[in-house]
Structure 1
Amino acid sequence: MANIQDSAQQLEEAIRNSDEFQNLKQAYETVMADEVAKKMFEDFRNTQIELQEKQMQGQEITEEEIEKARKVVETVQQHDQISKLMEQEQNLNVLINDISKTITKPLEELYGAQEQ
């Protein structure tokens, strides 16, 4: 188990040192250094969190809330720095999803073999 944990620690370090993470970190720092962008981004994140919490609790999301979220998304997408941040976040998510597929491959093969 320690060997697997060591590998996970190495993977964490590799992610931290990856271009994808470094680009995301730079984009995040740029947004946080701009008061207007920071406020817009925080509003965006708070809206996301509120809707996710309601969804997880099984509460209905109203049309009004959906429209508010849509407007917040449109606003942040028009801000160059925030748009860049979101793009860099997506790039890191692609990397992490690829890693997740790789590390869950033994399970997929095991259960996939059972289904055949």
Structure 2
Amino acid sequence: MPSHLNEYARMLEKGIRESHEFAALKQAYENVRSNGQARALFDRFRQLQLNLQDKQMQGLLVTEEDEKQAQAAMQAVQSNPAIMQLIGAEQRLSDLLSEINQVLMRPVEDLYAGK
């Protein structure tokens, strides 16, 4: 039997999907996906990010070549307004989710603080 917390979580998910921040992210993502050049650049950048994260998670060293590729990809991304709009929208949603997480963790923090 699902707990009330699961119901609240589903309500929160719905609220996030209906938020201005998510709508802005969705629109920015559609703008990138509908632009062939921006899409290819974004996909390449994202794949490079994922590969670097995988290396770090596996404890492998990030090589100088990896860093050069990442810097070149970042420069290319920064020159594309559609991708920069997407990155900005993603950051605003991330900030909102971070605030939500702080609220969700408050009971645990209060417990440890003796409140």
How does the TM-score come out when normalised to structure 1?
0.94
Give the C-alpha shift of residue 55 in structure 1: 0.2
Cα-Cα RMSD: 1.2
Matches within 5 A, 1:15-54: 15-54=16-55
Gaps of at least 5 residues in structure 2 are: none
After superposition, the C-alpha distances for 1:53-95 in whole angstroms (9 at most, x for unaligned) are 0000000001110111011011101100000000000000000
Equivalent residue of 1:51, what SS?
A: helix
**How many Å apart are 1:112 and its aligned residue?**
3.0
The aligned counterpart of 1:105 is 106
2:114 alignment partner, SS class? helix
Distance in 1, matches of 2:66 and 2:21, equals: 32
Equivalent in the alignment of 1:55: 56
Which piece of structure 1 moves more, 12-21 or 64-73?
64-73
Three-state SS of the structure 1 residue aligned to 2:113 is helix
Q: Name the TM-score, length of structure 2 as normaliser.
A: 0.95
The CA deviation at 1:113 is 3.1
- How many residues are aligned here? 114
Read off the aligned partner of 1:4 and give its amino acid letter. L
Q: Specify every segment of 5 or more residues in structure 1 that has no aligned partner in the other structure, as ranges.
A: none
Please list every run of at least 4 consecutive aligned residues from structure 1 whose deviation after the TM superposition is greater than 4 angstroms: none
